[in-house]
């Protein structure tokens, strides 16, 4: 089955929150804030796959979501960044915003990789907000939320086909030009 149009929803990962912790040990008299930063959320990339030639895979799976970043923790431990999501599409795919019909990316070269949605940034822990006058901040920064977008995938295909007549009629040459397979 040949599919040249698909509408899907993509969501980048949320950034992790910063931590609100304080250093408390037996032999440390005045331990200060030691909250770590949250990890960044995963981004969504579209990559040209040379083995694919239709958008039939997007007919059954309509939602794609990148991994969220983890929250920070005590002892200046940073949260793990979310893993990026790489979506494979055939060569000649045009990515459009579903609401505005604006072209986001034109994936027409082999091996091309485009960032479609960046992930959310991780928040800062309370150790970043310590100053000489505010030595024990009891707040931290929250991570940014990931973005969600409904997009349209269209596969552009050029084909020129001639008609064949009866045997007693003058012959017509058949030509087929395809931008996917370069023939």
Structural domain including 31 reads 1-157
Q: What is the mean pLDDT of residues 26-54?
A: 88
What is the domain count for the chain? 1
Give the pTM. 0.78
pLDDT above 90: residue 15: yes
Q: What is the CATH number of the domain that holds 32?
A: 2.70.210.12
* Cα–Cα separations (whole angstroms), residue 143 to 12, 147, 172: 13, 13, 64
pLDDT above 90: residue 182: no
Rg (CA), the chain: 26
Residue 164 lies in a domain: no
Residue 108 lies in a domain: yes
What pLDDT score was predicted for residue 44?
96
pLDDT above 60: residue 100: yes
Residue 178 lies in a domain: no
Residue 74 lies in a domain: yes
Residue 9 lies in a domain: yes
pLDDT above 60: residue 170: no
Closest CA to 66 of 115, 11, 17: 11
Residue 72 lies in a domain: yes
Which DSSP category does 25 fall into? -
pLDDT above 60: residue 72: yes
Q: What is the mean pLDDT of residues 65-85?
A: 93
Least confident of 35-44, 75-84, 89-98, 165-174: 165-174
* Cα–Cα separations (whole angstroms), residue 44 to 12, 65, 101, 147: 6, 8, 19, 10
Q: What is the mean pLDDT of residues 21-49?
A: 87
What pLDDT score was predicted for residue 68?
96
Residue 38 lies in a domain: yes
pLDDT confidence tier of residue 160, bands split at 50, 70 and 90: very low
Which residues are CB-neighbours of 134 under 8 A, at least 6 positions away?
A: none
Q: Rounded mean pLDDT of the chain? A: 85
Residue 140 lies in a domain: yes
pLDDT confidence tier of residue 32, bands split at 50, 70 and 90: confident
């Amino acid at each position: 089955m040949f599919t040249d149009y698909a509408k899907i929803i993509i969501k980048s990962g949320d950034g992790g929150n910063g931590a609100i912790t304080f250093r408390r040990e037996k032999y440390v008299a005045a331990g200060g804030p030691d909250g770590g930063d949250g990890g960044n959320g995963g981004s969504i990339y579209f990559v040209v796959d040379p083995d694919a030639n239709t958008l039939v895979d997007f007919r059954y799976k309509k939602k794609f979501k990148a991994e969220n970043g983890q929250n920070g923790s005590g002892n200046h431990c940073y949260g793990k960044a979310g893993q990026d999501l790489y979506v494979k599409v055939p060569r000649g795919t045009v990515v459009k915003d579903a609401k505005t019909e604006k072209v986001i990316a034109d994936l027409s070269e082999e091996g091309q990789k485009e960032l479609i949605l960046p992930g959310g940034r991780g928040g800062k822990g309370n150790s970043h907000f310590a100053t000489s006058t505010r030595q024990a901040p009891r707040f931290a920064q929250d991570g940014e939320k990931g973005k969600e977008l409904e997009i349209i995938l269209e596969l552009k295909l050029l084909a020129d086909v001639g008609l064949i007549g009866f045997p007693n009629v003058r012959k017509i040459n058949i030509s087929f030009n395809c931008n996917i397979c370069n023939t």
